[in-house]
Structure 1
Amino acid sequence: MQHKALSLALAAAIVAGATGTALSAGPAQPKLIRADFSALGNDDGSNDRFIVKYRNGAAAQSDAAQLTRTLDSVASRTVLRAAGAAPRARHLRRLAASGAHLVRLSRKLDRVEAQNFMLAIAADPAVEYIVPDRLRQPTGVPNDPFYASHQWHYNHPVGGAGAQPAWDGGATGQGVVVAVLDTGVTEHPDLAGNLLPGYDFIVDHEVSGRATDGRVPGGADTGDWVAANACGAGTPARSSSWHGTHVSGTVAAVSNNGAGMAGVAFDARIVPVRVLGHCGGYDSDINDAIVWASGGHVEGVPDNEYPAEVINMSLGGNGACEVATQAAIDSAVARGTTIVVAAGNQNTDAISHTPANCQNVITVGSNGISGKRASYSNYGARIDIAAPGGGVNDGANQNQGYIWSTVNLGTTVPGQAGYGGMVGTSMAAPHVAGVAAIVQSALSTPKSPLELAALLKQTARPFPIAPDRPLGIGIVDAGSAVVVARAGGQPLTNGVPRTGLRGNAGEGFVYVFPVAAGTARLNVITYGGTGQVKLLAKNGSEPTTSSYEAISQRPGNNQTITINAPAAGAYYVKVLGAATFTGVSVKATSM
């Protein structure tokens, strides 16, 4: 188990703010009314724009001058004139889809004035409706109070997971189920709304803490504390970790509820599966849990009604990947489940840590806020990708050294819900599991585990400097992954060439390269080989020789495109044969 120290310095201070927080039951269905006051501002004098729809055939619907005269007349009769003359109306435009008119008054109205004005307009039987034209704010930024102050690990430009662009694009994990195989979960207001029925797969009562052997429904974490020497001679006593609660919060804590913190895929649902208890968890229980969580049948346990598209396993130990564990993993992958695994915290080669060394999993190493390898993180060729796991001393303040998420404040059995910081590859893995859920939610047809693993690696953000030990291809980047997933096609990884291209005149290769907002420059080059190619680039769609944003067609294969201040989004890059070509490479770099 990759559990690291828990910092409760924040937890004690903020838990009071979470106590008694009620989860919303969802918005009520709107009533069909002709004057909608629900979007009016408070008594702040902010209401001066209105959308008015007259019935077809009404003079004001077809004649803008008549419309403004009507509105002026109503305003003069209904709007208080303490501030001087009654406001005058100005027609701005007719809305394309509805045919309604957008009008603006010459001064802003407070809520009472706006209600009087709207009621008088709506009293006209020729009016279908009138609504205020309100400013809306971006919904991608969660309103959870400690998201901005503590959860650097989602969007820090160097060490974060790039979640914000994905959220802004509407990819939030909606409709995706993630199973968290861990210590289970405790009751928490920032988790309850996203939890599905889980299961406790621990059979041995000494590990589960129950009075008798056997598995039980629920997936609740009842604690994993141990006394000194309980797990072997010389092993220390320790309090309950509430590890699964922290991991689950990183994957999919309820967000935009005005409380606590956010999850990476905050609209995904979590199936909690308890496989770790006092002194750890047995492979046999973990292997059965992998099968069950992915929708397979396990004797003696009711089938999972919510098979997971993604499984997170922030657990492990030394040794080779057991045959039974590999078989369980392979069966889950065959059912379409992507499995994300923590690399381990021993600062050694992950090839000696299981299940990180198993096949058909995404093995995740840990970086800190600086983008460097965390000092504890396992490394090596078996690591696929890095993600924020915290670095303790990596950052300007304590907040930046930890990964912040949901916890419990009990020392043995569950106590009060709270928030706290942990470090470890256990914290890195759920970032990747959350990003996997985000990507799947953005697609009408989900990717296979193999395709999803390839996409996450190919869209990873390059390390700011080369890590001191191999840590995968780069740092997971949710925004880039979503851009490429939606665009389709073969992704180009930042700074990594595609080599060995060959074809005939008129034949070509098309790649997709994600460009983040604020990018200063995009460079694309082809080089090497023989023959003649053209290089084309375009934002948002595949370029052609008659439709492109940039083109390079010098003699030979050494083509270069540079786009300064490129627009954010998916750039399509095409290598097109002007004659037969072979052995050509293409590389894109953003900075």
Structure 2
Amino acid sequence: MQYPMFKAALAASVALALSLSVTAHAQSTSGSNGFATRINASAVTGNATYNRFIVRYNASVPTTAVAATQSASAAMSRATKLQASLSSNAPAVSYKRTLATGAHLITTSRKLNASEAAAFMQSIASDPTVAYVQPDVMRHAIGIKAPASFTPNDNYFAKYQTDYLPGDGTATAAGNKVANWGGANVTGAWDLADGTGITIAVIDTGIVKHADIDASLGDAGYDFISDGFVSGRSTDGRVSGGWDLGDWTTGAPYDSGANACVNQGQGQGSSWHGSHVASASGAEITNNSIGMAGIAYKAKVLPVRALGHCGGYDSDIADAIVWASGGHVDGVADNQHPAQVINMSLGGDGTCTADDATAQAIAKARAKGTTVVVAAGNDGADVKSHSPASCPGVITVASTGVGSGLSFYSNYNAPGESIVKLAAFGGGVYPNEASSGTQLNPEGFAWQAVNNSSTSPAASPGGDTYGGMAGTSQATPHVTGAVALMQSARLAANMPLLTPDEVLAVLQKTARTPHTTPNSNKTFGAGILDAGAAVAEAVKGGGTTPPTDNATVLQNGVALTGQKGDAGSETFYKIDVPANARALVIRTAGGTGDVSLYVKAGAAPTATAFDASSIHAGNAESVTVAKVAAATTYYLRVVGVQAYTGVSVQATYTPASQ
């Protein structure tokens, strides 16, 4: 095969990628009526404009499209009294649609500046029937382009995919022959699993046709971009098929005109980011003597397009999450290939709370057993100001390089945080993960299949090529692919699939200590992904059950307050319930962070054996047993999805005599 022409970009692409994910400044919009907690304005920045807003009403208040429009129009009228520029030029308010989470998408006839948007949201939140309001902001692909046991025979594997090898310090066989401390040990996992039986959904720019990409679910995927300007289609609306139509921002209307999203002359050609990410997680055809390899190479990859020209809106991304996991979205045919794991290598400004539309969608996906893996972001900053990386319930992934240090661009945990759960190879760009120097090529980048066109995709095979990228976008599919391998191994062993919390616990338990000592002010969770160890642990069941006498005893109706734990921690409780007791309710509530609850009668719940569970964003978890026939000890397992504190644990039942 002719040596492919690798895409080139470097210094300029580094600057572009870092500019796309601007540092978030989490701020609340407060009002005299005490409704600040119902507004998330953390993504609102002084130099941006907004004409889309997501509004969620209280569940007890049935809200039609007409009622939501009237309510938002009334809010705009009130806002004119708060903001002079709105008074002199008040925009009309329109209704777009209902999201899969039940929230409503409202638009304005002109874009509002930051002060106007804040006044409008404050006015919306002053309505007591409103539960939450947020701007519908753009998210972006996160990546930096590079210049041009079982071991697959793909002809570029040995030189370009050293990130799949064990991170044991062995020198790379080709290229710069540097010590490889950052490898994900995918080759070790391949001895145990190949992804068979698992579906991976990649929510990104879509996928292209390529001789080395399995795009067999391309037509089964979906394009969730509802705005024609962003999708590149001639009209608004969603369409079937997860195909990448290109996301270039060169030329009108993207770098000139009223809706331009980049400065003139600063646009970029199509990234083919979704194909790169999908290829890494599993879509790149493996052991075919061509090109490179994918991680969970016998899994099926479902492309879901939510990013296009200029990025993608939260409202579209939230619906894509629900649909990809098997949930229903109005106006869209149900997904016939529900995913066991979702990859989101995207993000942008703002802190994500449990009430955000994206977090609500993630909670729906988790309730269906779908693990959601998310990029930490490329701001080189505290991850708490990046969304969806800071959403509850996701596995947030930082990037390390071949030397095992934190990549210079990667977001991280500040002291006391545990938002980033672990790291994986995403590319360090320069030796020793420095922020400058001579670019380390190919070992400084992750390499996969892409297209060679700068606008619409060139047809295969003429458009087929391979490209290197670096970013937390590239770290994330390493973890996603490992999750697919873990679940595939369990299917092969006739074991039930791991829950999202159990997946996280296994990944963190088996993560490798980095060779380079992390900066204590910029940490990245449990360590570096070791796919081989994770798959082996997953088949073992993800841990052992502690002795039941270690469980904390609960008394009927008495809340045990002030409970706390780290991300990935397990704490056990128990309560003795007499025969014929009724209405046993076991719950957690309050505090900060995120927990999940598992319950089993007669024995402590394990990672794979439990009678009931409650898995939602936040700490409000509850399991109910209508009647307990025989005297039984019920055991509780509280798992820290995120680090948590101030949580109460309580079990209440009604004795037979009452």
Shared topology, TM-score over 0.5?
yes
CA contact under 8 A between 1:365 and 1:386: conserved in structure 2? yes
Change (3 A) 1:298 1:488: same
**Could you say what secondary structure the match of 1:260 adopts?**
coil
Distance in 1, Cα, partners of 2:212 & 2:204: 18
**Could you say what secondary structure the match of 2:507 adopts?**
helix
**Could you say what secondary structure the match of 1:384 adopts?**
strand
Distance in 1, Cα, partners of 2:501 & 2:410: 24
Q: Tell me which amino acid in the other structure corresponds to 2:469.
A: M
CA contact under 8 A between 2:209 and 2:215: conserved in structure 1? no
Change (3 A) 1:431 1:475: same
Q: Tell me which amino acid in the other structure corresponds to 1:203.
A: S
Say whether 1:420 aligns with 2:443: no
Distance in 2, Cα, partners of 1:334 & 1:172: 26
- Specify the alignment match of 1:473 in structure 2: 526
Deviation by residue 1:407-464 (Cα, 9 ceiling, x = unmatched)? 1100111120111100000000000000000000000311011111111111111111
- Specify the alignment match of 1:326 in structure 2: 359
Matching of residues 474-553 of structure 1 within 5 Å: 474-488=527-541, 490=543
Deviation at 1:156, TM superposition (A): 4.1
Deviation by residue 1:139-164 (Cα, 9 ceiling, x = unmatched)? x2111111111101111422011111
**Which residue of 239, 243, 248 corresponds with 1:220?**
243
Distance in 2, Cα, partners of 1:456 & 1:217: 34
Deviation at 1:394, TM superposition (A): 2.8
Rg larger for: 1
Identity of aligned residues (%): 49
- Specify the alignment match of 2:210 in structure 1: 188
**Could you say what secondary structure the match of 1:277 adopts?**
coil
**Could you say what secondary structure the match of 1:271 adopts?**
strand
Deviation by residue 1:504-554 (Cα, 9 ceiling, x = unmatched)? xxxxxxxxxxxxxxxxxxxxxxxxxxxxxxxxxxxxxxxxxxxxxxxxxxx
- Specify the alignment match of 2:156 in structure 1: 146
- Specify the alignment match of 1:359 in structure 2: 392
Distance in 1, Cα, partners of 2:221 & 2:376: 25
Could you tell which deviates more after superposition, 318-327 or 423-432? Answer: 318-327
- Unaligned residue ranges in structure 2 (runs of 5+): 1-139, 168-180, 433-438, 552-658
Matching of residues 108-123 of structure 1 within 5 Å: none
Distance in 2, Cα, partners of 1:451 & 1:364: 16
CA contact under 8 A between 1:291 and 1:332: conserved in structure 2? yes
**Could you say what secondary structure the match of 1:421 adopts?**
strand
Query: How many residues get paired?
Result: 368
TM-score by length of 1: 0.60
**Could you say what secondary structure the match of 2:423 adopts?**
strand
Distance in 2, Cα, partners of 1:437 & 1:362: 14
Change (3 A) 1:379 1:491: farther
- Specify the alignment match of 2:266 in structure 1: 236
- Specify the alignment match of 1:447 in structure 2: 498
Could you tell which deviates more after superposition, 388-397 or 159-168? Answer: 388-397
Could you tell which deviates more after superposition, 453-462 or 228-237? Answer: 228-237
**Which residue of 445, 449, 452 corresponds with 1:402?**
445
CA contact under 8 A between 1:194 and 1:268: conserved in structure 2? no
Say whether 1:290 aligns with 2:321: yes
Deviation at 1:192, TM superposition (A): 2.7
Q: Tell me which amino acid in the other structure corresponds to 2:452.
A: L
Deviation at 1:195, TM superposition (A): 3.5
Say whether 1:391 aligns with 2:401: no
Say whether 1:251 aligns with 2:294: no
- Unaligned residue ranges in structure 1 (runs of 5+): 10-137, 493-497, 504-591
Distance in 2, Cα, partners of 1:365 & 1:235: 32
CA contact under 8 A between 1:3 and 1:241: conserved in structure 2? no
- Specify the alignment match of 2:224 in structure 1: 201
**Could you say what secondary structure the match of 2:516 adopts?**
coil
Q: Tell me which amino acid in the other structure corresponds to 1:483.
A: A
Deviation at 1:354, TM superposition (A): 0.3
**Which residue of 287, 290, 309 corresponds with 1:278?**
309
Deviation at 1:397, TM superposition (A): 4.2
Distance in 1, Cα, partners of 2:263 & 2:288: 46
Say whether 1:350 aligns with 2:397: no
Q: Tell me which amino acid in the other structure corresponds to 1:250.
A: A
Deviation at 1:465, TM superposition (A): 2.7
Say whether 1:462 aligns with 2:516: no
Q: Tell me which amino acid in the other structure corresponds to 2:320.
A: A
Say whether 1:176 aligns with 2:198: yes
Distance in 2, Cα, partners of 1:207 & 1:491: 49
Distance in 2, Cα, partners of 1:311 & 1:263: 16
Deviation at 1:483, TM superposition (A): 1.3
**Could you say what secondary structure the match of 1:348 adopts?**
coil
CA contact under 8 A between 2:249 and 2:262: conserved in structure 1? no
Distance in 2, Cα, partners of 1:489 & 1:346: 33
Deviation at 1:5, TM superposition (A): 3.4
Change (3 A) 1:167 1:389: same
Distance in 1, Cα, partners of 2:303 & 2:542: 35
Q: Tell me which amino acid in the other structure corresponds to 2:423.
A: A
Deviation at 1:3, TM superposition (A): 3.4
Q: Tell me which amino acid in the other structure corresponds to 1:431.
A: H
Distance in 2, Cα, partners of 1:489 & 1:242: 36
Deviation by residue 1:277-327 (Cα, 9 ceiling, x = unmatched)? 000000000000000000000000000000000000000111021521111
- Specify the alignment match of 2:146 in structure 1: 7
CA contact under 8 A between 1:387 and 1:431: conserved in structure 2? yes
CA contact under 8 A between 2:141 and 2:311: conserved in structure 1? no
Deviation by residue 1:185-234 (Cα, 9 ceiling, x = unmatched)? 11112213654520000010000000001101111111110133520556
**Could you say what secondary structure the match of 1:486 adopts?**
helix
Change (3 A) 1:214 1:405: same
Change (3 A) 1:491 1:502: closer
Deviation at 1:7, TM superposition (A): 2.9
TM-score by length of 2: 0.54
Say whether 1:166 aligns with 2:215: no
**Could you say what secondary structure the match of 1:485 adopts?**
helix
Distance in 1, Cα, partners of 2:211 & 2:479: 23
Q: Tell me which amino acid in the other structure corresponds to 2:369.
A: G
- Specify the alignment match of 1:341 in structure 2: 374
